[in-house]
Structure 1
Amino acid sequence: MPDVLTRRRRFLPNGILDAVIQLLVVVAAYTAYQNTRGLINDQLGASRAFANADWIVSAERLLHIDIERSVQHAATSVPGLMDASSLMYVNAQFSVTFGAMIYIYLRHNQAFGFVRNMFICAWCLALLGYVLFPTAPPRLVPGLGIHDAVAAASGVDPTDQTHTVNRLYNPYAAVPSMHVGFSLMIGIPLARLSKHRITRIFWGLYPLVVLFVVMATGNHFLIDGILGAVAVGIAALVARWLGQRRPHAWRFGREPAGADGAVS
């Protein structure tokens, strides 16, 4: 293999080829996840999705954790907080998540394989949840008094298929919450990898902020977020197992120093 493809560079710890391969793997996996998530949408199953949402509402009331309306009210009562929450809901899952993954690859490459495998496994678990337990979000459930904050802030109806962003939109892909899942999969590793106290606190609190955002905007129940955390926990165990069995899988450049120090 030409040395120019695998030679370590200042910003590419394993060379050009490894960076390209990792990018293609992550983009392909995420694209498959998004497309499959959208194609799962079965309008004939809407009654099932609302029945599942009613079950979650009943379970939360029984456990006294039905806080979604209170969270949205609190966000609305603070000037600018709801707009900020809506903006974060729309952008955080992609922009912050993949920006963080790029940072981990470049600056903490020894941990990237674990994080990458955890994401791919979590995407698979999420798709399983969308198929087996389609669930309407709080904003669509009648009688809860929860409105669609994102639509109100952006002026875009997520059910309007004339918008390209909504072509593969699935309104019933609420369980598990992958907004919460994504935030955990970058928040915890970055908190563990950070050298400075402020950044450790920031990334440690980031998943809680995202949990607040998804409830404030009316897109998820608290239980959705809890199940998102469960999916991440399972994905982390699988990623750790894969790392122990094949610690250098999908690495095409030279092995970086400290390659065995992946986050677990």
Structure 2
Amino acid sequence: MGEATVKTLEGLTASPSPMVTEDGQAPERSRLQRMRSVRRPRIWFEILLIAVSYWTYSLIRNAVPEQKAQALRNANWIWDAEHALGIAVEQTVNHAVNSVTWLIVTMNYYYATLHFIVTIGVLVWLYRHHPGRYAPTRLVLFATTGVALVGYYLYPLAPPRLMTGQNFIDTVLVHHTWGSMASGNLKNMSNQYAAMPSMHIGWSLWCGVTIFALTTAPWAKILGLLYPTLTLIVIVATANHFWLDAVGGLLCLAFGYGLSYVWYGSLPHRLPRHVTTTATATASDGIWSSAKLNTARR
């Protein structure tokens, strides 16, 4: 049998759409296609996934050998590189902000809490108001965090506050505030030499880009831009990171967006806001295609 053709309204001959069979039914999608399609998120699965993923991230991050000597050598190299680039102002910022007690204490708590609160808040907001974009945006966050673990393993780095002979101030210790898992009584629970890349920057940029791209209110877009900017100031003022650690976080985020784009075929904010179920989409495609075929055959 020859290839089936239909007559269009202009009287031209055309082949049926490859998306449907001749009887008007959509072909069964492959397993890979089903995996790459956006589906409505399920609350129990998302809570479990986030909890397990963060536990795994913390376990792996803290299991990376601390390599103190190498981490300090890398910190000295970063510090020298920033001097060569003319951007080594971390110590100046650290001392200036530390002189204002209420400000540095606020930054200590900012560093300790908003990292988690804002990120979880954005995930909840996406789940409730942008379910069609939730999974692709969540993939960006997870991929960003995953590739950061590689950085912690390959490039141990001491934060400025742990450098010897550079006179940086560990603001958490000086002001006796609870502000870092890597300071005070909590320091033994966290790898202190996992400063590169900065996930405070990676996660805050993820939040900021998501808010900026998906909101329409000008004030919300401004907040989206301010959050990673303020986070950058905080990580430097508290001597937890160098400027270049923030660049590492930015590169990790770029990797996350790249992976999400390859997997879903689009950037998250360009995907539909709501999810159309597979069954509904298949049925509507089949009915519409069948109607077109029947009309053309008359």
Residue by residue over 1:61-87, the C-alpha shift from the partner in whole angstroms, topping out at 9 and shown as x without a partner, is 000111111221332344521111101
Residue by residue over 1:176-205, the C-alpha shift from the partner in whole angstroms, topping out at 9 and shown as x without a partner, is 000000000111111111121111101112
Letter of the aligned partner of 1:29 in structure 2?
S
Correspondence for 1:236 among 248, 252, 257: 257
**Paired residue for 2:83?**
61
**Paired residue for 1:9?**
none
RMSD: 2.5
1:215, distance to aligned residue in structure 2 (A):
0.5
Cα pair 1:149 1:218 within 8 Å, conserved: yes
Unpaired segments ≥5 residues, structure 1? 1-12, 248-252, 257-264
Seq. identity, %: 30
1:155, distance to aligned residue in structure 2 (A):
4.6
**Paired residue for 1:85?**
107
Task: Indicate whether 1:195 and 2:212 are aligned.
Answer: no
1:226, distance to aligned residue in structure 2 (A):
0.9
Unpaired segments ≥5 residues, structure 2? 1-38, 269-273, 278-298
Cα pair 2:95 2:169 within 8 Å, conserved: no
Cα pair 2:173 2:183 within 8 Å, conserved: no
Find runs of 4+ consecutive structure 1 residues off by over 4 angstroms.
155-161
1:159, distance to aligned residue in structure 2 (A):
6.0
1:255, distance to aligned residue in structure 2 (A):
3.6
**Paired residue for 1:227?**
248
Matches within 5 A, 1:93-112: 93-112=115-134
Correspondence for 1:21 among 12, 32, 45: 45
> TM-score, normalised to structure 2's length?
0.72
Cα pair 2:111 2:235 within 8 Å, conserved: yes
**Paired residue for 2:24?**
none
**Paired residue for 1:4?**
none
Letter of the aligned partner of 1:22 in structure 2?
E
Query: Number of matched residues?
Result: 233
Higher RCO (CA-CA < 8 Å; seq separation 6+): 1
Q: Which sits farther off after the overlay, 165-174 or 227-236? A: 165-174
Matches within 5 A, 1:114-193: 114-155=136-177, 163=185, 166=187, 168-193=189-214
> TM-score, normalised to structure 1's length?
0.81
**Paired residue for 2:33?**
none
Cα pair 2:108 2:177 within 8 Å, conserved: no
Cα pair 1:86 1:153 within 8 Å, conserved: no
Letter of the aligned partner of 1:138 in structure 2?
P
Q: Distance in 2 between matches of 1:213 and 1:30?
A: 23
Task: Indicate whether 1:216 and 2:228 are aligned.
Answer: no
Correspondence for 2:54 among 30, 33, 46: 30
Q: Which sits farther off after the overlay, 142-151 or 187-196? A: 142-151
Q: Distance in 1 between matches of 2:249 and 2:56?
A: 19
Cα pair 2:181 2:190 within 8 Å, conserved: yes
Cα pair 2:97 2:103 within 8 Å, conserved: yes
1:150, distance to aligned residue in structure 2 (A):
2.2
Letter of the aligned partner of 2:228 in structure 1?
P
Letter of the aligned partner of 1:134 in structure 2?
P
Correspondence for 1:40 among 56, 61, 64: 64
